[in-house]
């Protein structure tokens, strides 16, 4: 039986922190599905199609990694993919409280789905997609935080 994990998120935009978790997660599972949430409430900068395309571009050579999108309940998507594991990244302590609540809610909804928390590499722990967008909007280069293709897309949208 294949070990399948879902790594859900908005990925608006994908960062090196995300890529770090994708590489590490993909080494632990046979299929590692990056599930791009439609996230209408968050009002993402990039459309779901643009976020999926950016992720496919930066993960194209990674073995066992797939990119998909979903709307609705995450646990329904996870079950539909035949997975039992949700992978969530943690950067700082404040991430844990929200992620813990979501993990318990998901477990309550579907008890046989497990949430696995992975700590990001410390060199990526202090920035987020939101901070990156704000920084680019103010004219800064953020190529230390995002791949070149993503930087170009950010410039197109924000400048």
Which residues are identified as catalytic? 18, 42, 91, 129
C-alpha to C-alpha distance for 120 and 117, rounded to whole angstroms:
10
C-alpha to C-alpha distance for 107 and 66, rounded to whole angstroms:
24
C-alpha to C-alpha distance for 111 and 119, rounded to whole angstroms:
23
Of 72, 78, 79, 61, the closest CA to residue 7 belongs to 78
| Inter-residue contact 90 to 96 (CB < 8 Å) | yes
């Amino acid at each position: 039986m294949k070990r399948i994990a879902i790594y859900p998120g908005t990925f608006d935009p994908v960062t090196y922190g995300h890529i770090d978790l994708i590489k590490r997660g993909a080494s632990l599972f046979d299929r590692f599905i990056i599930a791009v949430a439609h996230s209408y409430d968050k009002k993402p900068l990039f459309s779901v199609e643009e976020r999926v395309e950016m992720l496919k571009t930066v993960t194209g050579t990674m073995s066992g990694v797939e990119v998909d999108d979903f709307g609705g309940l995450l646990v329904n998507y996870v079950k539909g993919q035949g997975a039992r594991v949700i992978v969530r990244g943690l950067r700082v302590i404040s991430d844990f409280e929200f992620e813990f609540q979501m993990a318990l809610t998901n477990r309550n909804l579907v008890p046989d789905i497990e949430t696995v928390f992975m700590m990001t590499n410390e060199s990526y722990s202090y920035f987020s997609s939101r901070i990156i967008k704000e920084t680019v909007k103010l004219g800064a280069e953020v190529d230390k935080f995002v791949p070149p293709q993503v930087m170009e897309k950010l410039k197109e949208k924000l400048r």
